[in-house]
Amino acid sequence: MCPIRLVISSQGGHTPSSLHRSAQAFRPNGSRLVTCSSTESSRKLQDRAVARRAETIRKLRDEHLQRRLNDHESDLDVTADTASSVLFDGETTFIVEPELTEGPYYVRGELIRTDMREKQTGVTMYIDIQVINVNDCTPVKDMYVDLWHANATGVFSGVVASTNGNSADQSNLQNTFLRGVTPTDDDGVAEMISIFPGHYAGRTTHLHFIGNYGGTVLSNKTYAGSSVAHVGQFFFEQDLIDAVEAVTPYSTNKQTLTATATL
């Protein structure tokens, strides 16, 4: 595991230079977040995050005992016995600004859940997002985080389009795989299980998200009537993408892979 750093994609109408200028405009928020990280309450949040993620790792190890846990791709000197405080400590926060487009494949009214894999195969991905209000350094509770991304071969569920898999497959309109909504808890944490996203032509590998608040949970386990706090995308290190793309079913994806651009 390595610290998160800012990774910006140079596609979708944005150039690295224009995004760099936009990112500079938001640096005051970054300074406030650094200030937040030095407070006693933030240190307690970090301690709870370490404990929470350590418990997640313990459960995963129990579920996958057949794995050779010492086989890993990492730039750190770690083993299966490395202390959780080493694995999960350090500065891994970043500002989710500037905003990026929701893209053409957003679908409203997805299910509230914590596992959106359904029957999709791929490298399991455990998403752990923490939302902090940089104005007062407090965690944001009850923000409903809407997540969606392509499957291992670059197809989105719920959409029929010439650029999305088999455009003749009308049944895909009824599919809901790799889409889900999950709320943040008292610590501002939202968790989701998915698979690592596949790529599709013209875009680097990414994960879409929208932060929603002030809505209503409906009886069918969806969320409606909310205001949007943020629209963004998560991107990944190219080395990680390349490692995932080398295994099936990702390796069967014949669409052109666009590399992640870094600043």
pLDDT in tens, 208-243: 999 999 999 999 999 999 999 888 888 899 999 999
| Residue 59: per-residue pLDDT | 80
| Residue 29: per-residue pLDDT | 54
| Residue 247: per-residue pLDDT | 96
| Residue 33: per-residue pLDDT | 59
| Residue 78: per-residue pLDDT | 56
Residue 111 pLDDT exceeds 90: yes
pTM of the model: 0.77
User: Where are the domains positioned within the chain?
Assistant: 4-10+32-70+77-252
CATH number of 4-10+32-70+77-252: 2.60.130.10
Residue 56 pLDDT exceeds 70: yes
> 3: pLDDT confidence band, cut at 50, 70 and 90?
very low
Report CA dihedral (72, 78, 83, 89) to the nearest 10 degrees.
Answer: -90
Higher pLDDT, 81 or 93: 81
Q: Which residues pair with 224 in a beta bridge?
A: 216
Report CA dihedral (58, 61, 62, 68) to the nearest 10 degrees.
Answer: -150
Average pLDDT over the chain, rounded to an integer: 79
Q: Are the C-beta atoms of residues 116 and 149 closer than 8 Å to each other?
A: no
Distances from the Cα of 47 to the Cα of 52, 109, 131, 190, angstroms: 9, 34, 16, 17
Q: Identify the three-state secondary structure at position 147.
A: strand
Report CA dihedral (152, 247, 208, 72) to the nearest 10 degrees.
Answer: 150
| Residue 1: per-residue pLDDT | 29
